[in-house]
Amino acid sequence: MSLFITSLNSGSNGNCYYVGNQTEAVLIDAGLSRRQTEARMHRLGLSMERVKAIFISHEHSDHVTGIFGLAKKYFLPVFITPETLRQSRLTDVNTTRPLSADEPVWVGDLCVRAFLKEHDAADPHSFTVTYGETTVGIFTDIGQPCNRLIDHFGRCHAAFLEANYDEDLLERGRYPAFLKQRIRGGRGHLSNRQALELFVQHRPAFMSHVLLAHLSHQNNSPQIASDLFQPHLGNTQLVIASRYRETPVFEIGHVETGAP
């Protein structure tokens, strides 16, 4: 049983991740406009009609901007924790559904699980999506690799993993001191080094893909992140999720049909 995944966009300008099987799919976060989401999925040959739900990790604007347009046009349920809903002010979305940590939500044959993460938001969560024996993780906007993250990462056949900043670039960069501290202070974002340590120490042998996500425009670069990970990949394929465009669609798990 295969899962098909893509990052439609990943970065402080908008985050949206697609995970699905042959008949149904979910979006994790909706930080692009409806039109941008539709356009990128169309270029990939993916149909919005296959999307059955949206799951929201936290209330920051780069994760929620497109919710209203998508939910209204496609009548999509939006799974969001009560506190995140209050902070996001999504008063015009009448299809919200309560989301709780560690309680599975079934979307057709997809099982979506949320778990708490370290981030400076009201009630932030990361996600795994499982179909049969195949699991994909969506792990971005993470201040530090807590035990919950380590546990879930070790079960994934593929993962979107935050590698937000290079420590030297951040230190030498133009950000004010308070913002640098927010980023690296344990409730902000994961550095390249932290992401690599998590990958090297806790990657399962069956992980086929790692998609480095939410790279900072000013404090990181795809080349820096790629060069750091390349010597440690083994049989895992490295993908850099862009802040400007969608990635290709990747098939994860046991190959049965070969196309989404």
pLDDT digits (tens, 9 = 90+) for 116-157: 999 999 999 999 999 999 999 999 999 999 999 999 999 999
pLDDT tens per residue, range 2-11 = 999 999 999 9
172-177 mean pLDDT: 95
How much is the pLDDT for 1?
85
Task: For residues 236 and 242, give the distance between their C-alpha atoms in angstroms, rounded to a whole number.
Answer: 19
Three-state DSSP class for 178? helix
* The pLDDT of residue 46 is above 60: yes
How much is the pLDDT for 94?
87
Convert 105-143 to b/e letters by CB count within 10 Å (16 or more is b).
Answer: bebeebebbbbebbbbbbbbbbbbbbbeebbbbbbbbbb
Residue 254 — very low, low, confident or very high, per pLDDT cuts 50/70/90? low
Query: C-alpha 81: how far from its chain's center?
Result: 17
Cα 40-45-46 angle, rounded to 5 deg: 75
Half-sphere exposure of 139 (CA within 13 A, CB side): 33
Write down the mean pLDDT value for the chain: 95
Convert 27-58 to b/e letters by CB count within 10 Å (16 or more is b).
Answer: bbbbbbebebbbebbeebebebebbbbbbbbb
CB 139 within 8 A of CB 70: no
Q: Give residues with Cβ within 8 angstroms of 178, minimum separation 6.
A: none
How much is the pLDDT for 246?
98
* The pLDDT of residue 259 is above 60: no
Question: Which residue would you say has higher pLDDT here, 31 or 91?
Answer: 31
Q: Which amino acid belongs to residue 187?
A: R
Range scoring the smallest mean pLDDT among 87-91, 135-139, 180-184: 87-91
The two three-digit tokens of residue 213, written as one number = 């996500």
The two three-digit tokens of residue 234, written as one number = 């083994």
Residue 260 — very low, low, confident or very high, per pLDDT cuts 50/70/90? low
Task: For residues 28 and 49, give the distance between their C-alpha atoms in angstroms, rounded to a whole number.
Answer: 16
Q: Which amino acid belongs to residue 115?
A: F
Neighbouring CB atoms inside 10 A of 220's CB total 23
**pTM for the structure as a whole:** 0.95
pLDDT tens per residue, range 190-246 = 999 999 999 999 999 999 999 999 999 999 999 999 999 999 999 999 999 999 999
Residue 93 — very low, low, confident or very high, per pLDDT cuts 50/70/90? confident
Residues counted in the chain:
260
* The pLDDT of residue 91 is above 80: no
- Strands 209-213 and 158-162 come out as parallel
Matching residue, tokens 């995970």: 19
Please name every residue paired with 115 in a beta bridge, in sequence order, or none if there are none: 126
94-108 mean pLDDT: 95
* The pLDDT of residue 159 is above 50: yes
Domain boundaries of the chain, sorted by first residue: 2-244
Determine whether domain 2-244 maps to CATH 1.10.287.70: no
Using alpha carbons, select from 158, 151, 170 the residue that is nearest to residue 216: 170
